[in-house]
Amino acid sequence: IGKNYIFFDQIDSTNMYAKSNDLPDGTVVLAENQTKGKGRKGRRWISSKGKGLYFSIVIKRNYPLNDLMKLSLLFPYAVKEAIKDYLENQIKIKWPNDLYINNRKFAGFLIETEIEGNEINRIIAGIGININNEPEEFGDIKDTATSLKIEEGKTFCRKELFCRVLETIEKSLDKFSSLDLTDEIEKDLLWKGENIRILDEGIEGRLIGLDRSGGLKVLTEKGVLTVYSGDISVRKI
Protein backbone atom coordinates (compact mmCIF):
# COMPACT_ATOMS: atom_id res chain seq x y z
CA ILE A 1 0.00 0.00 0.00
CA GLY A 2 1.22 3.47 -0.83
CA LYS A 3 3.65 2.52 -3.63
CA ASN A 4 1.49 4.74 -5.75
CA TYR A 5 0.32 8.03 -4.24
CA ILE A 6 -1.93 10.65 -5.75
CA PHE A 7 -2.04 13.89 -3.84
CA PHE A 8 -4.51 16.74 -4.29
CA ASP A 9 -4.51 20.07 -2.57
CA GLN A 10 -8.24 20.13 -3.21
CA ILE A 11 -10.65 17.66 -4.77
CA ASP A 12 -14.39 16.92 -4.58
CA SER A 13 -13.95 13.54 -2.89
CA THR A 14 -11.03 11.10 -2.84
CA ASN A 15 -13.49 8.19 -3.00
CA MET A 16 -15.15 9.59 -6.12
CA TYR A 17 -11.74 10.04 -7.76
CA ALA A 18 -10.59 6.54 -6.82
CA LYS A 19 -13.83 5.01 -8.08
CA SER A 20 -13.90 6.72 -11.43
CA ASN A 21 -10.28 6.00 -12.35
CA ASP A 22 -8.66 2.64 -12.99
CA LEU A 23 -5.90 2.81 -10.39
CA PRO A 24 -3.55 -0.06 -9.51
CA ASP A 25 -3.80 -2.10 -6.31
CA GLY A 26 -2.40 -0.25 -3.31
CA THR A 27 -2.91 3.27 -4.70
CA VAL A 28 -3.57 5.90 -2.04
CA VAL A 29 -5.47 9.05 -3.02
CA LEU A 30 -4.93 11.79 -0.46
CA ALA A 31 -6.36 15.30 -0.29
CA GLU A 32 -5.72 18.29 1.97
CA ASN A 33 -9.26 19.44 1.40
CA GLN A 34 -12.44 17.90 -0.02
CA THR A 35 -15.24 20.08 -1.34
CA LYS A 36 -17.73 17.19 -1.46
CA GLY A 37 -16.47 14.75 1.17
CA LYS A 38 -18.94 11.88 1.31
CA GLY A 39 -20.26 10.00 4.31
CA ARG A 40 -22.38 6.90 4.21
CA LYS A 41 -25.90 7.06 2.77
CA GLY A 42 -25.13 10.19 0.75
CA ARG A 43 -24.28 12.21 3.84
CA ARG A 44 -21.60 14.85 3.95
CA TRP A 45 -18.18 14.55 5.52
CA ILE A 46 -16.69 17.83 6.75
CA SER A 47 -13.09 17.98 5.53
CA SER A 48 -11.34 21.12 6.76
CA LYS A 49 -8.23 22.03 4.86
CA GLY A 50 -4.99 20.81 6.38
CA LYS A 51 -6.58 19.70 9.64
CA GLY A 52 -7.48 16.07 9.18
CA LEU A 53 -6.48 13.12 7.04
CA TYR A 54 -8.77 12.43 4.09
CA PHE A 55 -7.77 9.56 1.86
CA SER A 56 -8.91 6.52 -0.11
CA ILE A 57 -7.06 3.25 -0.61
CA VAL A 58 -7.63 1.18 -3.74
CA ILE A 59 -7.49 -2.56 -3.13
CA LYS A 60 -7.70 -4.66 -6.25
CA ARG A 61 -7.62 -8.12 -4.82
CA ASN A 62 -10.21 -10.86 -4.81
CA TYR A 63 -12.09 -11.79 -1.67
CA PRO A 64 -15.10 -14.05 -1.26
CA LEU A 65 -18.29 -12.06 -0.74
CA ASN A 66 -18.64 -13.73 2.67
CA ASP A 67 -15.65 -11.70 3.87
CA LEU A 68 -17.36 -8.37 3.23
CA MET A 69 -18.29 -7.62 6.83
CA LYS A 70 -14.89 -8.60 8.16
CA LEU A 71 -13.16 -6.59 5.44
CA SER A 72 -15.05 -3.44 6.25
CA LEU A 73 -14.31 -3.87 9.96
CA LEU A 74 -10.60 -4.24 9.22
CA PHE A 75 -10.19 -0.54 8.44
CA PRO A 76 -11.53 0.97 11.68
CA TYR A 77 -9.72 -1.77 13.60
CA ALA A 78 -6.38 -1.02 11.91
CA VAL A 79 -6.74 2.75 12.37
CA LYS A 80 -7.51 2.26 16.05
CA GLU A 81 -4.48 -0.01 16.49
CA ALA A 82 -2.27 2.45 14.62
CA ILE A 83 -3.06 5.50 16.72
CA LYS A 84 -4.09 4.21 20.15
CA ASP A 85 -0.58 4.43 21.60
CA TYR A 86 -0.46 8.16 20.84
CA LEU A 87 -3.56 8.84 22.95
CA GLU A 88 -4.51 9.08 26.61
CA ASN A 89 -8.19 8.49 25.82
CA GLN A 90 -9.59 5.12 24.83
CA ILE A 91 -10.87 4.65 21.29
CA LYS A 92 -14.19 2.89 20.82
CA ILE A 93 -15.53 1.30 17.65
CA LYS A 94 -19.12 2.06 16.77
CA TRP A 95 -20.29 -0.86 14.66
CA PRO A 96 -20.05 -1.14 11.72
CA ASN A 97 -17.39 1.45 11.18
CA ASP A 98 -16.94 4.67 13.06
CA LEU A 99 -14.32 5.51 15.66
CA TYR A 100 -15.30 7.40 18.78
CA ILE A 101 -13.53 9.05 21.70
CA ASN A 102 -15.58 10.12 24.72
CA ASN A 103 -18.83 9.38 22.88
CA ARG A 104 -18.03 11.57 19.92
CA LYS A 105 -16.99 10.56 16.44
CA PHE A 106 -13.51 11.43 15.19
CA ALA A 107 -13.10 9.04 12.26
CA GLY A 108 -15.44 7.74 9.58
CA PHE A 109 -15.06 5.05 6.92
CA LEU A 110 -16.76 4.77 3.57
CA ILE A 111 -16.01 1.32 2.20
CA GLU A 112 -17.22 0.94 -1.38
CA THR A 113 -16.91 -2.39 -3.16
CA GLU A 114 -17.26 -3.81 -6.65
CA ILE A 115 -18.75 -7.25 -6.67
CA GLU A 116 -19.01 -9.82 -9.45
CA GLY A 117 -20.88 -13.02 -8.71
CA ASN A 118 -19.63 -14.20 -5.34
CA GLU A 119 -16.41 -12.22 -5.39
CA ILE A 120 -15.28 -8.81 -4.30
CA ASN A 121 -12.95 -7.49 -7.02
CA ARG A 122 -12.21 -3.98 -5.90
CA ILE A 123 -12.45 -2.08 -2.65
CA ILE A 124 -12.24 1.67 -2.28
CA ALA A 125 -11.65 2.28 1.40
CA GLY A 126 -12.34 5.94 2.15
CA ILE A 127 -11.01 7.10 5.49
CA GLY A 128 -11.52 10.44 7.20
CA ILE A 129 -9.76 11.16 10.50
CA ASN A 130 -10.19 14.43 12.39
CA ILE A 131 -6.75 15.20 13.75
CA ASN A 132 -6.07 18.87 14.48
CA ASN A 133 -9.58 20.15 13.80
CA GLU A 134 -11.05 22.83 16.05
CA PRO A 135 -14.62 22.65 17.43
CA GLU A 136 -15.84 25.60 15.29
CA GLU A 137 -15.13 23.63 12.11
CA PHE A 138 -17.88 21.18 12.92
CA GLY A 139 -20.66 23.80 12.97
CA ASP A 140 -24.01 22.22 13.82
CA ILE A 141 -22.49 18.77 14.49
CA LYS A 142 -20.05 19.98 17.13
CA ASP A 143 -21.83 17.99 19.84
CA THR A 144 -21.32 14.70 18.02
CA ALA A 145 -18.04 15.29 16.15
CA THR A 146 -14.59 15.65 17.65
CA SER A 147 -10.90 15.53 16.78
CA LEU A 148 -7.79 14.11 18.40
CA LYS A 149 -6.67 17.64 19.25
CA ILE A 150 -9.96 18.49 20.95
CA GLU A 151 -9.90 15.32 23.07
CA GLU A 152 -6.18 15.17 23.83
CA GLY A 153 -5.50 18.88 24.11
CA LYS A 154 -2.46 18.88 21.83
CA THR A 155 -1.52 19.09 18.19
CA PHE A 156 -0.53 15.94 16.31
CA CYS A 157 1.86 15.34 13.44
CA ARG A 158 -0.45 14.25 10.63
CA LYS A 159 2.39 12.79 8.56
CA GLU A 160 3.50 10.51 11.37
CA LEU A 161 -0.03 9.26 12.06
CA PHE A 162 -0.66 8.77 8.35
CA CYS A 163 2.43 6.56 7.95
CA ARG A 164 1.48 4.50 11.00
CA VAL A 165 -2.07 4.07 9.72
CA LEU A 166 -1.00 2.91 6.25
CA GLU A 167 1.56 0.53 7.70
CA THR A 168 -1.01 -1.01 10.05
CA ILE A 169 -3.63 -1.37 7.32
CA GLU A 170 -1.10 -3.07 5.08
CA LYS A 171 -0.05 -5.51 7.78
CA SER A 172 -3.66 -6.27 8.71
CA LEU A 173 -4.59 -6.92 5.08
CA ASP A 174 -1.58 -9.20 4.61
CA LYS A 175 -2.69 -11.40 7.48
CA PHE A 176 -6.39 -10.96 6.78
CA SER A 177 -7.26 -14.65 6.62
CA SER A 178 -5.72 -15.47 10.00
CA LEU A 179 -6.85 -12.25 11.67
CA ASP A 180 -9.50 -12.68 14.37
CA LEU A 181 -11.25 -9.35 14.44
CA THR A 182 -14.23 -10.49 16.50
CA ASP A 183 -12.47 -10.50 19.88
CA GLU A 184 -10.33 -7.51 19.03
CA ILE A 185 -13.30 -5.34 18.12
CA GLU A 186 -15.55 -6.63 20.84
CA LYS A 187 -13.26 -5.43 23.59
CA ASP A 188 -13.50 -1.85 22.35
CA LEU A 189 -17.05 -1.95 21.10
CA LEU A 190 -19.05 1.22 21.77
CA TRP A 191 -22.25 0.66 23.79
CA LYS A 192 -21.48 -3.00 24.54
CA GLY A 193 -23.91 -4.19 27.21
CA GLU A 194 -26.16 -1.17 26.68
CA ASN A 195 -29.56 -0.84 25.08
CA ILE A 196 -29.56 0.19 21.45
CA ARG A 197 -31.88 0.58 18.50
CA ILE A 198 -31.08 -0.43 14.95
CA LEU A 199 -32.61 2.20 12.73
CA ASP A 200 -34.62 1.02 9.68
CA GLU A 201 -34.85 -2.53 11.03
CA GLY A 202 -36.96 -1.67 14.06
CA ILE A 203 -34.79 -3.83 16.29
CA GLU A 204 -34.21 -2.85 19.90
CA GLY A 205 -32.30 -4.69 22.57
CA ARG A 206 -29.05 -5.07 24.40
CA LEU A 207 -25.89 -4.99 22.33
CA ILE A 208 -24.03 -8.13 23.32
CA GLY A 209 -21.16 -8.35 20.88
CA LEU A 210 -20.07 -9.65 17.49
CA ASP A 211 -20.39 -13.04 15.89
CA ARG A 212 -17.52 -14.81 14.08
CA SER A 213 -18.14 -13.07 10.76
CA GLY A 214 -18.42 -9.62 12.29
CA GLY A 215 -22.22 -9.35 12.53
CA LEU A 216 -23.72 -7.45 15.44
CA LYS A 217 -25.49 -9.56 18.09
CA VAL A 218 -28.44 -7.97 19.85
CA LEU A 219 -30.42 -9.56 22.66
CA THR A 220 -34.06 -8.72 21.93
CA GLU A 221 -37.39 -9.91 23.35
CA LYS A 222 -37.37 -12.58 20.64
CA GLY A 223 -33.91 -13.85 21.52
CA VAL A 224 -30.53 -13.06 20.00
CA LEU A 225 -30.66 -11.46 16.55
CA THR A 226 -27.58 -10.90 14.41
CA VAL A 227 -27.39 -8.15 11.82
CA TYR A 228 -24.83 -8.10 9.03
CA SER A 229 -25.49 -5.25 6.63
CA GLY A 230 -22.86 -2.55 6.57
CA ASP A 231 -25.61 -0.02 5.82
CA ILE A 232 -27.02 -0.15 9.30
CA SER A 233 -27.19 2.70 11.80
CA VAL A 234 -27.07 1.97 15.51
CA ARG A 235 -28.28 4.40 18.19
CA LYS A 236 -28.14 4.26 21.96
CA ILE A 237 -31.53 4.38 23.70
The residues binding ligand BTN (CB under 6 A) are 13-15, 34, 37-40, 43, 45, 54-56, 98, 108-110, 126-128
86 phi/psi in degrees, rounded to 5: -90, -5
Smallest distance from ligand ATP to CB 128, Å: 6
Task: Give the C-alpha separation, 1 to 27, whole Å.
Answer: 6
Examine residue 234 and tell whether it contacts ligand ATP (CB under 6 A): yes
Nearest CA to 199 out of 233, 236, 224, 237 is that of: 233
Smallest distance from ligand ATP to CB 154, Å: 19
Q: Which does 13 bind (CB under 5 to 8 A by kind): ligand BTN, ligand ATP, none?
A: ligand BTN
Q: Which does 234 bind (CB under 5 to 8 A by kind): ligand ATP, ligand BTN, none?
A: ligand ATP
Q: Which does 163 bind (CB under 5 to 8 A by kind): ligand BTN, ligand ATP, none?
A: none
Contact 205, 234 (CB under 8 A): no
Smallest distance from ligand BTN to CB 196, Å: 18
Nearest CA to 5 out of 24, 23, 34, 28 is that of: 28
Element (H, E) at 166: helix 158-174
Contact 28, 17 (CB under 8 A): no
CA distances from 131 to 52, 55, 159, 189 (A): 5, 13, 11, 21
Site for ligand ATP in 9-68 (CB under 6 A): 39-41, 43-46
Smallest distance from ligand ATP to CB 73, Å: 14
Task: Give the C-alpha separation, 221 to 227, whole Å.
Answer: 15
Which residue lies nearer to ligand ATP by CB, 13 or 27?
13
Residues binding ligand ATP (CB under 6 A): 39-41, 43-46, 98, 105, 108, 128, 130, 141, 145, 233-234
